């Protein structure tokens, strides 16, 4: 995240929640709170393990973290 007032201030969080709403929440109906939580958890697991992100060089967040741990540094595309 960038500094307060910069264009990157909350862009990542807003992008994440917009994706979750678009891909998971709109049009869905659950029987209870636990079913909704299970659906969100399943989507998060997919999002972090399989979905590729342009800001990370078109790799998944899990793969990005694995590579950064092995290399000892973080290289974000800006």
- pLDDT tens for 44-56 read 888 777 777 777 8
d(CA 22, CA 47): 13
Provide the pLDDT for residue 35: 92
What's the predicted TM-score (pTM) here? 0.57
Give me 75's structure tokens.
């290289």
Distances (CA, A) of 22 to 13, 16, 77: 14, 10, 25
Q: Which residues contact 1 (CB under 8 A, 6 or more apart)?
A: 8, 9, 10, 12, 13
- pLDDT tens for 6-58 read 666 677 778 888 888 888 888 888 899 999 999 999 988 887 777 777 778 88
Confirm if 48 and 65 have CB atoms less than 8 A apart: no
């Amino acid at each position: 995240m960038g500094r307060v007032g910069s264009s990157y201030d909350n862009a990542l969080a807003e992008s994440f929640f917009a994706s979750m709403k678009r891909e998971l929440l709109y049009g869905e109906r659950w029987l209870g709170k636990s079913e909704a939580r299970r659906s969100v958890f399943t989507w998060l697991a997919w999002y972090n393990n399989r979905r590729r992100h342009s800001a990370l060089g078109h790799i998944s967040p899990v793969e990005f973290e694995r590579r950064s741990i092995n290399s000892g540094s973080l290289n974000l595309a800006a």
